[in-house]
Structure 1
Amino acid sequence: MTKLSVNINKIATLRNSRGGNVPDLLKVATAIQQFGAHGITVHPRPDERHIRYQDARDLTKVVFTEYNIEGNPQHNFIDLVLECMPTQVTLVPDAIGALTSNAGWDTVKHQSYLTEVIQEFQRKGIRTSIFVDADERMIEGAKAIGTDRIELYTESYAHEYGKGNFAAIAPFVTAAEKAAELELGLNAGHDLSLDNIKFFKDNIPNLLEVSIGHALITESLFLGLDNVVNMYLQKLK
């Protein structure tokens, strides 16, 4: 089945809104794994407005599934990843101050820099993934860089699916086929939800992993975290 990695940034946002340590990020991460999720994802940003760098370090003590750290590979981020040694690092080109990720890498323009960063992580045995749009040229660029996987940026699919435009899946199918042709592992994430995840999974070949945060945590307010994690697992079988 496609693996589910739960992004817990929103838990950190809730904690930070009142100070202190409620909810306890480590306890939530432990519970999510006990409920059946295959991994934990965090995306620390330079301003640490949700996940703090120390959170990423502390989570190494409790993550017993796959640990995925996302972010823009600036020097502090690279140092953090090499210190934490997660299962996977996902490189995302988010600008400082960006509300959320809003584009994939231009893997052609940034080929030299990304190649250098990817090689540094791979030398340490960390699986690498690059956040890209559903664009064959960018996927070919990712292959040239030497990454292990790509993560498809799925915001456009989710937006169009919500309007009933199921044809919006087409470029993602093409992108997945290109990734398979190039022997790149395939992940996906951004705005995937209980409403749209099954259609996406059923149509995308060789989908290894999805990373879901905002929707999953929001849905859990109504349905409970244990229930929602297992509802995703059923849809990803």
Structure 2
Amino acid sequence: MTNKLLLLIFLIIGTTVFAQEITFKAPDYKAIEKEIQDKKSTFYYPVLMEKLVKSDTLLTTEEYRHLYFGYVFQPKYNAFWKSPDDEKLRKFYNKETYDNKDYDEIIKLINRSLESFPFDLKQLNFLSYIYHLKGDEELAKKTSIKFDNIVGAILSSGDGKQCETGFHVLLVDHEYMLLNIFELTTNGQSLIGKCDYLSFEKGKYKVDGIYFNIEKMLENESKIFRQKL
């Protein structure tokens, strides 16, 4: 279902992130941490997050990069995060058709999920689709733009060809979301250094696999583990 939703949304909204050539730059986490904590900076995190929550369509690529990669420095960041309404939302994912009552319930559940974690790509994608079905094209477009720019921030962080240039992600779910977007099927996952390597069937694609940098995820997991001791 996810692939169908993505393809439909891209056709409806006319997104631009994937239509342009993307140059990449690995995030400088020390510089990002400094900027997002500086109240005089244009990247001051509370201000950026307020704009994101309000679906400000004027947020720039650099602002999205500071939002996404800067989230690792927020107390709420959890590499193991799951939506608090995951089971309820999964029920709706399995439905073939929806009615007005479903729309309102889905929107309520997803918005609650986004309050917990504003970069929940799966739910942002679903939310845009539901807004479209409900006939609210303005919110569908704003939500899709937010989704596209978060994905764009991830894609701007590397090329995935080797661990040194892997795509930086906050959650394992984001790795598989990128595969869904490009309709790639993995047949294996392995940890190589500070990267997740998702391999493909030999000869099926131009590359044999994609690297995702999970450095900050590993640091967060270690932090959570120490807190439990």
Q: Would you tell me which structure has more helix in proportion to its own residues?
A: 2
Give the TM-score normalised by structure 1: 0.28
Q: Would you tell me which structure has more strand in proportion to its own residues?
A: 1
Which structure has the greater CA radius of gyration?
2
Give the TM-score normalised by structure 2: 0.28
